[in-house]
Chains A and B, each alone.
Chain A
Amino acid sequence: MDLKVVGKPVARKDAIEKVTGQTKFGADIDLPGQLYGAVCRSTYPHATIKNVNTEMALKLPGVRAVITGKDYTKLYGQFIEDQPVIAFDKVRYQGEPVALVAAEDLLTAQEAARLIEIEYEPLPVVNSIDEALTNETLLHEDWSKYNIPGACHPVQNTNIGDTFTLRKGDIEQGFKESDLVVENKFSCSMLQHTTIETHTATAYVNQITGEITVYTPAQSPFTIRPVLAKAFNVPLEKIRIICTAIGGGFGSKYEVRAEPLAIALALFTNGRPVKLQFSREEEFMASVARAPAQIHLKTGVKKDGTLVAQQVKIYWDTGAYVTTGPRVNYNAGFAACGPYKIPHAWVDGYCLVTNKSLGTAYRGFGVPEVACAHEFQMDCIAKELGLDPLELRLKNVLEEGDISVTGEVMQSIAVKECLEEAAKNIGWYDKPLNWTTQDGKLAGKGIACFCKLTGTPSTTSTVLKLNENGSLTIQYSGREMGQGVTTVIPQMAAEALGISLDKIHMAPVDTAYSPYDKTTTSSRSTFHGGNAVLMAAEQIKEQLLDLAAKYFQVSPSQMEYVDGVIRCKGEPTKAIHIEDIEASGILKEQPPVIGNGTYSTLNLYYKPDPLTRQSKRPTVMWMFGAQAAITEVDPATGCIKLKTIGAAHDVGYAINPVGCLQQIEGPIIMGLGHALLEEMIYENGILRNGNMVDYKVPTFQDSDVEMKITLVEKQHPEGPFGAKGIGEPGICPVAAAIVNSVNAACEANLNSIPIKPEHVLFRKED
């Protein structure tokens, strides 16, 4: 295939607006007559609300509305409706909204929120997975009272908000057949996405029609629309979500957060818009987080390193409400055994509720955590058997035609190539597992691989509109959040239609007129959006061929569309280039040229068995990759320095190679933070480091890491031009590779992240 636009490195289409400061993010929206919202938040992590006194707040000049949970008692949630818009009977985490204020200016709103007096009766606090598992204190006394619109399986009279199981073979038999059984545990800290843009929403309510409009940097407008419609008891079409640019998502803007609060206030302001922006403190304490995880593994293996059986138990601390925990549990459950051939596999996953912020979607949806665990386990096995860690992996890794732990015959799989390339990128074969550097540092190498599915089934629709001058407008609701979707989608349309890239524009996303797209998560946009765009482009071509046939007075079957030229076969004079379409006059007084494309994966999916998860095809697209790390540890200070990451990811086909590299480089540094720096520290339900001074994300200085990246291109049979997703894969093996390299360097078995200097110095091992 002679491709002209895809497969070439392309500068982002959204870059000029971004470097000139013209891009409009959530907080850049100001509407006439707007009020400012502030939230009175719970100071207790768990308490009964005895009384809320708003009298003083209401008296403050400039205050236009003060509302409490009593004004609005509906519950909401995407998977389970367990969360109040404003807490009314009890609070379940520090920072939970208890009352809302709208005022003429922000300072007045904040002052009024401070004047609200709340009488609490403290309840015992559930601070950890272990405490939740005792069920001595129940956060949600009766799960059965809640409506469950999604796939969510709470266990009555427990703190378990969701359960997941996977069963293949006979696990006990597998352990019996093994020469060696290795048991380990791995734990991951709670993380905050720390997008530089905090959650923001500006909402107003039409006083006559009741239509609710909200401006928001939402990742998934069509996922949150039904949630908001139910929460505010209006028909779906009466929620209009106008999307602003997103200043960093990483999953944090998948849930509704600021939107319900701004809308709740706007119901009480006589039509005046209410703008509500989370402070950084609110972002840490009361937006969303990555759930801490505890993962137990028991693995049976033959002397030669062949994996026989693996049992994994995963406990997620999803915080006070279940939110997207079940989806994290599901995605991670499918990935928990890694990309390996294992005849006997059991996985049990549990979401536990605790009195903390909400542990939910974060880039990778649980896979970076389970990858840390299964790859830590692989290194422990390699050590016990005296095998090279890479050799052990290559021996067990899934290859073309192998059967996965969920019973699928794997196709277009290149995880082996990824492992080999990642290893080469750090010079794996020339180095021992550890060594001492000339300046006395302990150095080590580590490697890790992973598998991750994309959510299936799902649907994406697009509308392509050919403008009178031959330019093209794409209506598509996949959200740009830095990953480059608004560049790769036009690239694919340009390739299909022969229109130059600079004549293709993405329409803004607004649920009032944009076509449905399930969500911008799960690394799905290039794959799903690309397929939908290619289908829509075919319709554009057909319509143009018909119009041109009429114009040239030939039959449509004599016409062909080649590289943007609409022409009559064998008659070179009867040809119009798409860019000359206006001058040609063939569009004049004709119906609009509009192509629709809908890509659904329903027919490419076999619903996994709810107990065993066995399925011929549980996902339309598996993603695989590997990364290797070299780390140096200073034995005197414990200072850990990541020196090199060698990465190799199977992108199927790189539509925009620069974009693919960006989607790996960023996560490598993000993963460095996960492995070595970041943790939300809670003490009895109180967040101790909810600011950017005490919660450390990687800076320029932390990030001086040599990155060598290979894009492996094993084309996906159903991918657009063979492409697969790359939004999340980059993050999945980073922390795991770093952990393994630190353990190699120090000859340790550190089994929790982040690994800090004190852990290295004092070897705090479980």
Chain B
Amino acid sequence: MKTLTIQVTVNGEAFCKTVGVNMTLLEFLREELHLTGTKLGCNEGECGACTVLVDGKPVNSCLMLAVEADGAEIFTVEGLAKDGTLHPLQEAFIEAGAVQCGFCTPGMLMSAKALLDKYPKPTAQQIRKELEGNICRCTGYDRIVKAIILASEMNKEG
């Protein structure tokens, strides 16, 4: 298998790694960097459990090759909390009861972060539209919508 050396920044930390050209970004994060917070749900870009931010944009990391991320800045769920302080989205997900089994949660949080970066004060309709690619089987979604609105209000206060 052909390999290439890539340089990426993940959650603010620089990495230089030689990877197979067929390795997905998801496999790279989980297996090479041991960042297992990002989840494999379907491997076909349908469930959103593997969502990470690549240069600020939400990406299904199961559909992107690691080599395509060369030079990129990547954010995963592990990068949300800073110095032991939870990100407002994380706090809001807990506060609003938007977490049940927790398997979709990392991807959901990253999609929500991208949404808030784009629309700091989103409406419920915008949230439902922008996050449609993230599937949750436990919550029925309503509390996730409420959590994101709650986080957007925390942002305003902060």
Q: A interface vs B, CB < 8 Å?
A: 11-12, 14-25, 27-28, 107, 193-198, 245-250, 277, 279-280, 481-484, 658, 661-662, 665-670, 691-693, 697-701, 703-704, 707
Q: Is there an interface contact between A280 and B43, defined as CB atoms closer than 8 Å? A: yes
Partner of A700, one of B41, B109, B128, B137: B128
Contact A691-B46, Cβ < 8 Å, known A15-B99, A670-B137: yes
Please give, as numbers and ranges, the residues of chain A lying within 8 Å of B137 by CB-CB distance: 193-196, 248, 250, 666, 670, 697
Q: Is there an interface contact between B44 and A280, defined as CB atoms closer than 8 Å? A: yes
| Assembled-state Cα–Cα distance A502/B36 (Å) | 26
Q: B2 at interface (Cβ–Cβ under 8 A)?
A: no
Q: Give residues 1-59 of B contacting A (CB, 8 Å).
A: 22, 35-44, 46-47, 49
The 4 closest A-B pairs by CB, nearest first: A21-B37, A247-B103, A18-B102, A482-B101
Q: Is there an interface contact between A699 and B100, defined as CB atoms closer than 8 Å? A: no
| Assembled-state Cα–Cα distance A71/B139 (Å) | 43
List 17 additional contacts besides A17-B102, A196-B135, A482-B102; criterion CB under 8 Å.
A12-B97, A15-B93, A15-B102, A16-B90, A19-B93, A27-B36, A196-B41, A196-B104, A196-B137, A280-B43, A666-B137, A668-B140, A669-B142, A691-B44, A698-B141, A700-B141, A703-B128
Partner of B78, one of A20, A107, A249, A707: A20
Please give, as numbers and ranges, the residues of chain B lying within 8 Å of A666 by CB-CB distance: 100, 137-140
Contact A12-B94, Cβ < 8 Å, known A248-B103, A669-B140: yes
Partner of A22, one of B37, B138, B141, B142: B37
Q: Is there an interface contact between B43 and A703, defined as CB atoms closer than 8 Å? A: no
What are some 23 contacts across the A-B interface (CB < 8 A)? A12-B94, A15-B102, A18-B99, A19-B80, A19-B105, A20-B81, A21-B105, A27-B40, A195-B103, A196-B101, A196-B136, A248-B137, A248-B138, A280-B46, A482-B101, A661-B97, A662-B143, A667-B140, A670-B137, A693-B46, A699-B132, A700-B131, A701-B132
| Assembled-state Cα–Cα distance A698/B94 (Å) | 23
| Assembled-state Cα–Cα distance A109/B137 (Å) | 30
Nearest CB to that of A17 among chain B residues?
B102
Partner of B100, one of A25, A197, A662: A662
Tell me, rounded to whole Å, the shortest Cβ–Cβ distance linking A668 to chain B.
Answer: 6
Partner of B80, one of A20, A691, A699: A20
Q: Is there an interface contact between A665 and B143, defined as CB atoms closer than 8 Å? A: yes
Q: Is there an interface contact between B97 and A248, defined as CB atoms closer than 8 Å? A: no
Partner of B47, one of A19, A22, A483, A692: A692
Q: Is there an interface contact between B44 and A703, defined as CB atoms closer than 8 Å? A: no
Please give, as numbers and ranges, the residues of chain B lying within 8 Å of A280 by CB-CB distance: 41-44, 46-47
Q: Is there an interface contact between B103 and A196, defined as CB atoms closer than 8 Å? A: yes
| Assembled-state Cα–Cα distance A196/B135 (Å) | 8
Contact A700-B132, Cβ < 8 Å, known A21-B36, A482-B138, A666-B140: yes
Q: Is there an interface contact between A247 and B102, defined as CB atoms closer than 8 Å? A: yes
| Assembled-state Cα–Cα distance A11/B86 (Å) | 15
Please give, as numbers and ranges, the residues of chain B lying within 8 Å of A669 by CB-CB distance: 139-142
Tell me, rounded to whole Å, the shortest Cβ–Cβ distance linking B47 to chain A.
Answer: 6
Q: Is there an interface contact between A11 and B95, defined as CB atoms closer than 8 Å? A: yes
Tell me, rounded to whole Å, the shortest Cβ–Cβ distance linking A700 to chain B.
Answer: 4
| Assembled-state Cα–Cα distance A194/B86 (Å) | 30
Q: B150 at interface (Cβ–Cβ under 8 A)?
A: no
Q: Give residues 62-102 of B contacting A (CB, 8 Å).
A: 76-78, 80-81, 86, 90, 93-95, 97, 99-102
Please give, as numbers and ranges, the residues of chain B lying within 8 Å of A195 by CB-CB distance: 101, 103, 137
| Assembled-state Cα–Cα distance A23/B100 (Å) | 12
Tell me, rounded to whole Å, the shortest Cβ–Cβ distance linking B153 to chain A.
Answer: 18
Q: Which of B36, B128, B145 has the most CB of A within 10 A?
A: B36
Please give, as numbers and ranges, the residues of chain A lying within 8 Å of B143 by CB-CB distance: 662, 665
Contact A19-B127, Cβ < 8 Å, known A658-B97, A665-B140: no
Q: Is there an interface contact between A697 and B41, defined as CB atoms closer than 8 Å? A: no
Please give, as numbers and ranges, the residues of chain A lying within 8 Å of B144 by CB-CB distance: 700
Please give, as numbers and ranges, the residues of chain A lying within 8 Å of B105 by CB-CB distance: 18-19, 21
Contact A665-B94, Cβ < 8 Å, known A21-B36, A23-B102: no
Q: Which of A194, A246, A661, A703 has the most CB of B within 10 A?
A: A703
Tell me, rounded to whole Å, the shortest Cβ–Cβ distance linking A114 to chain B.
Answer: 15
| Assembled-state Cα–Cα distance A699/B81 (Å) | 27
Q: Is there an interface contact between B128 and A701, defined as CB atoms closer than 8 Å? A: yes
Tell me, rounded to whole Å, the shortest Cβ–Cβ distance linking A16 to chain B.
Answer: 7
Please give, as numbers and ranges, the residues of chain B lying within 8 Å of A246 by CB-CB distance: 101
Q: Is there an interface contact between B102 and A14, defined as CB atoms closer than 8 Å? A: yes
| Assembled-state Cα–Cα distance A707/B139 (Å) | 12
Partner of B135, one of A482, A667, A692: A692
| Assembled-state Cα–Cα distance A608/B44 (Å) | 48
Q: Which of B80, B102, B106, B141 has the most CB of A within 10 A?
A: B102
Please give, as numbers and ranges, the residues of chain A lying within 8 Å of B77 by CB-CB distance: 19-21
Q: Is there an interface contact between A19 and B134, defined as CB atoms closer than 8 Å? A: no
Please give, as numbers and ranges, the residues of chain A lying within 8 Å of B109 by CB-CB distance: 19
Please give, as numbers and ranges, the residues of chain A lying within 8 Å of B140 by CB-CB distance: 665-670, 703, 707
Q: Which of A21, A246, A247, A249 has the most CB of B within 10 A?
A: A21
Nearest CB to that of A673 among chain B residues?
B137
Tell me, rounded to whole Å, the shortest Cβ–Cβ distance linking A523 to chain B.
Answer: 15
Please give, as numbers and ranges, the residues of chain A lying within 8 Å of B101 by CB-CB distance: 195-197, 245-249, 481-482
Q: Is there an interface contact between B76 and A25, defined as CB atoms closer than 8 Å? A: no
Q: Is there an interface contact between B103 and A19, defined as CB atoms closer than 8 Å? A: no
Partner of B44, one of A23, A194, A692: A692
| Assembled-state Cα–Cα distance A193/B35 (Å) | 27
| Assembled-state Cα–Cα distance A428/B135 (Å) | 32
Q: Is there an interface contact between B42 and A692, defined as CB atoms closer than 8 Å? A: yes
Tell me, rounded to whole Å, the shortest Cβ–Cβ distance linking B145 to chain A.
Answer: 7
Please give, as numbers and ranges, the residues of chain A lying within 8 Å of B42 by CB-CB distance: 280, 691-692
| Assembled-state Cα–Cα distance A451/B55 (Å) | 52
Contact A21-B142, Cβ < 8 Å, known A16-B94, A27-B40, A670-B137: no
| Assembled-state Cα–Cα distance A707/B129 (Å) | 19
Please give, as numbers and ranges, the residues of chain A lying within 8 Å of B47 by CB-CB distance: 196, 280, 692
Please give, as numbers and ranges, the residues of chain A lying within 8 Å of B141 by CB-CB distance: 669, 698, 700, 703
Q: Which of A16, A20, A23 has the most CB of B within 10 A?
A: A20
| Assembled-state Cα–Cα distance A698/B81 (Å) | 30
Please give, as numbers and ranges, the residues of chain A lying within 8 Å of B37 by CB-CB distance: 20-22
| Assembled-state Cα–Cα distance A11/B124 (Å) | 23
Q: Is there an interface contact between B43 and A279, defined as CB atoms closer than 8 Å? A: yes
Tell me, rounded to whole Å, the shortest Cβ–Cβ distance linking B42 to chain A.
Answer: 4
Q: Is there an interface contact between A703 and B142, defined as CB atoms closer than 8 Å? A: yes
| Assembled-state Cα–Cα distance A317/B131 (Å) | 36
Q: Is there an interface contact between B132 and A21, defined as CB atoms closer than 8 Å? A: no
Please give, as numbers and ranges, the residues of chain B lying within 8 Å of A245 by CB-CB distance: 101-102
Partner of B90, one of A20, A691, A700: A20
Q: Is there an interface contact between A697 and B102, defined as CB atoms closer than 8 Å? A: no
Please give, as numbers and ranges, the residues of chain B lying within 8 Å of A482 by CB-CB distance: 100-102, 138
Q: Which of A15, A18, A666, A697 has the most CB of B within 10 A?
A: A18
| Assembled-state Cα–Cα distance A645/B41 (Å) | 29
Please give, as numbers and ranges, the residues of chain A lying within 8 Å of B46 by CB-CB distance: 280, 691-693
Nearest CB to that of B1 among chain A residues?
A107
Please give, as numbers and ranges, the residues of chain A lying within 8 Å of B44 by CB-CB distance: 280, 691-693
Partner of A665, one of B39, B90, B104, B142: B142
Q: Which of A194, A248, A249, A668 has the most CB of B within 10 A?
A: A248
Please give, as numbers and ranges, the residues of chain A lying within 8 Å of B128 by CB-CB distance: 700-701, 703-704
Q: Which of A700, A703, A704 has the most CB of B within 10 A?
A: A700
